[in-house]
């Protein structure tokens, strides 16, 4: 990529990862790891992740935080808060159909020719009751992202599969995400490698 190439990473806290306390605005998660690679050395990296965001929150700021940057590449990781709210005491349920419609609406606004990367939301069963999330909610949302990637020609990052495959039996899933959702440093490394694998030969 050359210096005129803008890459926008957007989503929730997994993408945010302290970027607003970082003078470079990139944060210390998977975005920071990718930004440090040779493939991104000449690109302009923009991180607009916001911790706690639901998919509808991202849709509300899509113009300002994504389209306004006129990106050549857009990477989206959003949806785990739509799952989490079902179980955090608020009882807010976002159906897979609502999730899909919101994502489609955002993606339809990208300029033709924009390279798109869709990262599936993920969770590992670390906290109480999290083993239920996949069957009751998360699995359907992961399927939405996979299907949208196939339908739009976007690169698809199978984050859940990558994290599960990387679990160290000695450390367990908590070695990758202490609360089942937010990656540890090692979890971010796995996520960054999975992103790179989905975008081979990125120039």
Which of 12, 13, 53, 82 is catalytic? The answer is 13
Complete DSSP assignment for 65-121 = HTGGG--SEEEEE--HHHHHTTTSSS-----HHHHHHHHHHHHTTSPTT-EEEEEPP
Is 188 part of the annotated catalytic residue set?
no
Three-state secondary structure call for residue 154: coil
- Token readout for 111 is 């300029």
Across the beta sheet with 115-119, the strand order is 44-47, 6-11, 73-77, 115-119, 155-157
∠ CA 139-145-150, rounded to 5°: 125
Is 75 annotated in the active site? no
Active-site residue (options: 22, 28, 69, 182): 182
Q: Is 69 a catalytic residue?
A: no
Is-contact 194 157, C-beta < 8 A?
yes
Question: Which among 16, 28, 179, 188 is annotated as catalytic?
Answer: 179
Paired strand residues for 118? 76, 156
* CA pair distance 36, 196, nearest whole angstrom: 12
Catalytically annotated residues: 13, 179, 182
């Amino acid at each position: 990529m050359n210096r005129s190439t803008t890459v926008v990473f957007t989503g929730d806290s997994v993408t945010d990862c302290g970027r607003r306390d970082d003078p470079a605005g990139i944060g210390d998660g998977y975005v920071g790891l990718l930004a440090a690679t040779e493939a991104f050395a000449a690109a302009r990296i923009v991180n607009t992740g916001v911790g706690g965001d639901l998919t509808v929150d991202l849709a509300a700021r899509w113009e300002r935080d994504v389209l306004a940057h006129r990106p050549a590449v857009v990477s989206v990781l959003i949806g785990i808060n739509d799952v989490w709210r079902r179980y955090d005491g608020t009882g807010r349920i976002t159906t897979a159909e609502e999730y899909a419609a919101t994502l489609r609406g955002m993606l339809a606004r990208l300029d033709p020719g924009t390279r798109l990367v869709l990262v599936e939301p993920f969770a590992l069963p670390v906290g109480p009751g999290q083993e239920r999330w996949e069957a009751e909610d998360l699995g359907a949302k992961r399927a939405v992202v996979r299907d949208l990637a196939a339908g739009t020609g976007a690169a698809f990052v199978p984050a859940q599969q990558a994290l599960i495959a990387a679990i160290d039996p000695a450390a367990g899933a908590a070695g990758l995400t202490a609360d089942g959702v937010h990656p540890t440093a090692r979890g971010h490394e796995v996520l960054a490698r999975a992103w790179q694998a989905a975008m081979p030969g990125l120039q």
